[in-house]
């Protein structure tokens, strides 16, 4: 597996694995609380990007972390930060919650 595959997952693949309960780690949502209130994934952990440096102790370094935001920009920053802090099993969810929700809603039809 190359580094792109290791550190990124497509919204379609993420949605499929989420729906089937096949995600082998935690989902870290780095959006703001207001965004979380509108829509979030069951089982996800909310730590807004700006709070992440002060809340690292809430995450287990050896657990896989799927990082999710609205459109995939903040999650890239969060994923890179986690990697710089010694987390090695970090996966950015490309295109964020907006794209994931499209696949989840399409699967629900």
- Looking at the annotation, which residues are catalytic? 69
Compute the distance between CA of residue 92 and CA of residue 84 in angstroms, rounded to an integer: 14
Sequence-separated (6 or more) residues with CB below 8 Å from residue 105: none
Q: Which of 39, 38, 36, 63 is nearest to 47 (CA)?
A: 36
């Amino acid at each position: 597996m190359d580094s792109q595959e290791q550190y990124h997952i497509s919204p379609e693949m993420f949605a499929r694995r989420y729906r089937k309960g096949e995600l082998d780690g935690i989902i870290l949502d780095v959006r703001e609380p207001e965004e979380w209130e509108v829509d979030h994934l069951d089982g996800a952990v909310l730590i807004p990007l700006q709070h992440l440096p002060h809340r690292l102790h809430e995450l287990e370094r050896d657990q896989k972390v799927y990082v999710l935001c609205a459109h995939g920009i903040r999650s890239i920053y969060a994923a890179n930060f986690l990697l710089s802090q010694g987390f090695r099993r970090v996966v950015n969810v490309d295109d964020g919650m907006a794209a994931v929700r499209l696949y989840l809603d399409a699967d629900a039809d």
